[in-house]
Amino acid sequence: MKTESAILAIIKMYPDITGYQIKTNIDAMGGNVVKIHLSKIYPCLKKMTEQGLLSCRSVPQEGRLDQKFYTLTPAGEKALDEYYEKPFEFKGSRASFDEYLLQLANMAYMPNERIVSYIDEGISYMENSLAADEARLDDEPAEEALTGMDEQSCRAYADLWKRENELVAREARGRIEWLKELREAYSA
């Protein structure tokens, strides 16, 4: 439902919007995070219209296909609200955090209290994840990873392992700090 929810959220923020305008807004909001091609947007729009989540208004154009403008129906509003009621499912990867940020951007139409609650979920997850990352900082690579390596390669691998774990922990601290700043801005 990631694609559908992103489309519904964009339409909620920009009612009476075309498929191309939806693509432009998704690129502007999450272009570094997610790419949703028009070839995926148009079938989603058609399916959601058939499901009664969207209404579609066609405007004839001379010598071209009709231009279609989409608006949420009450059922679409309900589906979007239900989607954002569920806690975000972090998967322990950088890509998962990127999806979290896209979902956060798509919540712009919601009351600040809901946005702050979502930010709190992210802070809690990231703090727990950071604790696990920091606990691994002194760990050595698994024996299986070193099997068959010469001594120099083992040292290099162990060094890179440690540095990668330090980087992951540093990124997590930065994300937590950013989320706390964001939380403060939306709590005011």
Please list the pLDDT of the chain residue by residue as tens digits (188 residues): 578 888 999 999 999 999 999 988 887 776 566 677 888 999 999 999 999 999 999 999 999 989 999 999 999 999 998 888 888 888 877 778 888 887 888 888 889 999 999 999 999 999 988 888 787 777 766 666 677 888 888 888 888 888 888 888 898 899 999 999 999 999 98
This model's pTM is above 0.75 = no
Would you identify the CATH topology of the domain 1-86? Arc Repressor Mutant, subunit A (1.10.10)
| Cα 14 to Cα 24: distance, rounded to the nearest angstrom | 12
| Cα 48 to Cα 18: distance, rounded to the nearest angstrom | 14
| Cα 39 to Cα 43: distance, rounded to the nearest angstrom | 7
Tokens of 142: 């698994």
Distances (CA, A) of 57 to 60, 70, 71, 140, 146: 10, 7, 8, 61, 62
Tokens of 123: 């802070």
Q: Where are the alpha helices (DSSP H) in 86-150?
A: 94-105, 112-135, 143-146
Residue with tokens 């009450």: 74
Name the residue among 139, 35, 55, 153 with its Cα closest to residue 95.
35
| Cα 179 to Cα 121: distance, rounded to the nearest angstrom | 10
Question: Residue 11, SS3?
Answer: helix
Distances (CA, A) of 102 to 93, 157, 162: 15, 34, 30
| Cα 184 to Cα 188: distance, rounded to the nearest angstrom | 6
Question: Residue 101, SS3?
Answer: helix
